[in-house]
Structure 1
Amino acid sequence: MKAPALTQAEQRITGRARLAGVLGWPVGHSRSPLLHNYWLRRYGVDGAYVPLPVKPEDFATAVQGLKAAGFRGANVTIPHKEAAYRIADVLDESARRAGAVNTLVFEADGSIRGLSTDGDGFVASLKAEGLKLARLDRHGGLAQPHALLLGAGGAARSIAAALQATGMRVSVTNRTRDRADALVEALPGLGVCPWEDWEKALGAYDLLVNTTSLGMEGGPDPAFCPSLKAAGRGLVVADIVYVPRKTPLLAEAERQGLQTLGGLGMLLHQARLGFLEWFGVNPEVDDATRDYVLRGGRS
Structure 2
Amino acid sequence: MKKIIRKIITLIITLLCISFLTFSAFSIIPGDAAANKLGKEATAERIEQLREEMGLNDPLPVRYGRWLSGAVQGDFGESYRYDGRTVQSLIARRLPITVLLAGISLVIIIIVSVPLGILSARFSGRFVDIFSSQLTQVIMAVPSFFLGILMTYVFGLVLHWYQPGKFVSPDENLWASLQYLFFPALAIALPKIAMTMRFLRNSVLTEMRKDYVRTATSKGMDENRILYHHVLKNALIPVVTFVAMVVAEILAGSLVVEQVFSVPGIGILLISSISSRDYPVVQALVLYITSVVVILNFLVDVIYEALDPRVRV
Query: Could you say whether these structures have the same fold, taking a TM-score greater than 0.5 normalized by the shorter chain as the test?
Result: no
Find the structure with the greater CA-based Rg: 2
| TM-score of the two chains, using structure 1 as the length reference | 0.25
| TM-score of the two chains, using structure 2 as the length reference | 0.24
- More helix per residue: 2
- More strand per residue: 1
